[in-house]
Amino acid sequence: MPDIIMPRLSDTMEEGVVVAWLKQVGDKISRGDILAEIETDKALMELEAYEDGVLEQILFEPGSRVPIGDTIALIGDGTGSTTGGSNSAAGNGTTSSDTAEDRAATSHAQSESAGTQNNPIEAVGTVPVAATTAETGTRKKSSPLARKIARDLDVDLAAVTGTGPGGRITRNDVESAYRIIESTPAAPPVATVTPAGDYDETPLSTIQQVSAKRLTESKQQAPHIYLTSAIDVTDLLAFRAQINRTLEQVGKTKVSVNDLLVKAVATTLRTDPAVNVSIADDKLLRHRGIHLGIAVATPAGLLVPVIRDADRKSVSEIATETRDKAERARDRKLRADEMSGGTFTISNLGMFGIEQFTAVINPPESAILAVGAAKDELRLDNSQVVTRSILRVTLSADHRAIDGATAARFLQQFTELLEHPLRIIT
| Interior/surface letters 129-140, b for 16+ CB within 10 angstroms, e for the rest | eebeeeeeeeeb
Residue 313, CA atoms < 13 Å, CB-side half-sphere: 22
What's the chain's length in residues? 426
**Neighbour count for residue 284 (Cβ, 10 Å):** 12
Terminal Cα-to-Cα distance of the chain (whole angstroms)? 60
Sign of the Cα torsion 86, 89, 91, 92 reads: negative
Q: Is 399 a catalytic residue?
A: yes
Q: Which amino acid is at 382?
A: N
Smallest CA-to-CA distance from 294 within 321, 269, 314, 317 is with: 321
Enumerate the β-bridge partners of residue 377.
Answer: 388
Task: Report the amino acid identity of residue 402.
Answer: I
Task: State the DSSP H helix or E strand holding residue 307, giving kind and residue range, or none if neither.
Answer: strand 306-307
Listed in sequence order, the DSSP H helices in 292-365 are 315-330
Give CA angle at 158 (154, 162), nearest 5°.
Answer: 100
277 close to 329: Cβ distance less than 8 angstroms = no
* Gyration radius from the chain CA atoms: 28
Alpha helices in 233-388 (DSSP H): 234-249, 257-271, 315-330
What is the C-alpha to C-alpha distance for residues 353 and 328, in angstroms, rounded to an integer? 24
117-125: Cβ within 8 A, 24+ apart:
119/69, 121/148, 122/148, 124/148
Which of the residues 224, 287, 399, 420 is marked catalytic? 399
Point out the residues that are catalytic. Answer: 399
